[in-house]
Amino acid sequence: MKRRVVEDPRGSFSMAAGWLFADLLLVLAMLFLAANTMGIHPPPPPTHPTPTPTPQKVLAQLEQSHHSFTISVDTGALLAGNQSAANSVMHQIAGQPFLQGRSAGLIIVFGRARANCEQEHAYDIAQKVYNLVHQLGQSDATFSKIADYDTLCNIRDDVNAIDIDIFLFVQSKA
């Protein structure tokens, strides 16, 4: 009588899973070895020489505080182009004691008006003063590098005066 051999289905599945796990470990080991043996190559040396950096210019720096002053002006005459009124403005600005031997960097001019800056031409007066300061810069080194700001307006009773703020360049230490 022949005996019939019945295989245990769980055994053949376990055996296949074991071999599959072993193959997987072998593949991972090969990937690990391949990844670690491929080195990162340094970039090739440049074919042309590296440029030598040039020294940069030192930028001029403004002082952190400003000088404020007020000058008198005949606004009607200045707006009409009167040379005497223009000379008076330039003389008053250039004659400020704090400017002696210094270089002005930024000027901020405030025209004055009693109520309405546009209608009372305060902005136009401020622009005239900016133009006169740039004209001064053509003959006076103190104002040769000056930059101006927007035309501004102060509401004040005395419209025949102009408020001016000037920032000076930091003095170089020699």
Instruction: Look up residue 91 and give its amino acid.
Output: H
Q: Which of 26, 47, 114, 35 is nearest to 75 (CA)?
A: 114
Query: Domain 67-165, what fold?
Result: 60s Ribosomal Protein L30; Chain: A; (3.30.1330)
Mean pLDDT of 117-134: 95
Higher pLDDT, 85 or 14: 85
Q: What one-character DSSP code corresponds to residue 119?
A: T
The CA distances from residue 108 to 103, 128, 164, in Å, are: 15, 12, 6
pLDDT exceeds cutoff 90 at 98? yes
Mention every residue, 6+ apart, whose C-beta is less than 8 A from residue 86. 78, 128, 132
Instruction: Look up residue 41 and give its amino acid.
Output: H
Rounded to 10 degrees, the C-alpha dihedral 26/28/29/32 comes to 160
Lowest-pLDDT range of 35-39, 145-149, 166-170: 35-39
Mean pLDDT of 147-165: 94
What's the chain's average pLDDT? 87
The SS3 call for residue 133 is helix
Rounded to 10 deg, the angle between the 122-137 and 83-94 helix axes is 70
Quickly state the pLDDT bin for 8 (edges 50, 70, 90).
low
Higher pLDDT, 28 or 82: 82
Mention every residue, 6+ apart, whose C-beta is less than 8 A from residue 13. none
Q: So what's the pLDDT on residue 96?
A: 96
Both tokens assigned to 113: 């008006």
Q: Domain limits of the chain? A: 67-165
Q: Which of 61, 80, 49, 81 is nearest to 170 (CA)?
A: 61
Both tokens assigned to 79: 């707006």
Quickly state the pLDDT bin for 76 (edges 50, 70, 90).
very high
